[in-house]
Amino acid sequence: MDNTVYIDLDSFTISSSAPGNIHCDREIAEVIIELNKKGYKTIASCAGHNRSGSISRYFIPESDYDEWIETFGEHPSVVRVEKYDDRHFVCLSKELITTTYVAFADNYEFESLPEGFEKSELEEGISLNCRTYYYLDEEEETWQKMKTQKQIDTEIKNARARLLAWAKELKPVKMKGMNI
């Protein structure tokens, strides 16, 4: 099933086509609609996805290899590092976390944040992020005992629910010269 939906920012509804609309994950679309309807311009989002047990590939430029190995080479998530081509190495690594987030075009000053979410500064704007760890031990030294699929799915779903409840409680953005 395709997880992408399109949001028409003129009508604040889900659309079936991409041109002129923004795309987002189906599970977070209601949050994005609510925020944009209230004047909080979003630029990116992710509903969080349960990819526990998956392996990701990261490319490391040869010039960064020594520093990278010193910093991350012994990390328990690293499965294998090998030469990829003349200029790169590739690291195969276990997925450890997923993040439910919304990124905003401006640096909005919120009175509160949804439970479990943190605010991060972006080059332009901010993001609100909630990490869901796939492992019971959040201390990165071990990462041995994995949560069940159901535990992970429940945590991700709860993060989305807290974000939606928070978005519904937000007051609309006050625009310069307007009393909204």
Residue 170, amino acid:
L
CA 140 to chain CA centroid, Å, is 19
Residues 104 and 152 in one domain: yes
In a domain, 180, yes or no: no
Residues 90 and 102 in one domain: no
Model confidence band, residue 17 (pLDDT cutoffs 50, 70, 90): confident
In a domain, 179, yes or no: no
Percent of the chain clearing pLDDT 70 (strictly above): 91
Q: What is the pLDDT of residues 47-76, one digit of tens each?
A: 999 988 888 898 999 999 999 889 888 887
In a domain, 38, yes or no: yes
- In the chain, the N- to C-terminal Cα span, in Å, equals 39
- Could you give the CA distance from residue 50 to residue 134 in angstroms, rounded to a whole number? 8
The mean per-residue pLDDT over the stretch 151-171 comes to 97
Helix (H) or strand (E) holding 100: strand 97-104
- Could you give the CA distance from residue 167 to residue 102 in angstroms, rounded to a whole number? 11
pLDDT at 180: 36
Residue of 26, 9, 2, 7 lying closest to 17 (CA atoms): 7
Task: Select the more confidently predicted residue: 167 or 79.
Answer: 167
What is the extent of the structural domain holding 63?
55-94
Helix (H) or strand (E) holding 44: strand 42-46
In a domain, 139, yes or no: no
pLDDT at 60: 92
pLDDT at 9: 82
In a domain, 142, yes or no: no
In a domain, 90, yes or no: yes
Residue of 145, 142, 147, 144 lying closest to 132 (CA atoms): 147
The count of domains in the chain is: 2
φ, ψ of residue 127 to 5 degrees: the values are -135, 150
Task: Select the more confidently predicted residue: 4 or 19.
Answer: 4
Q: What is the pLDDT of residues 76-118, one digit of tens each?
A: 788 899 999 999 999 998 888 899 999 999 999 999 999 999 9
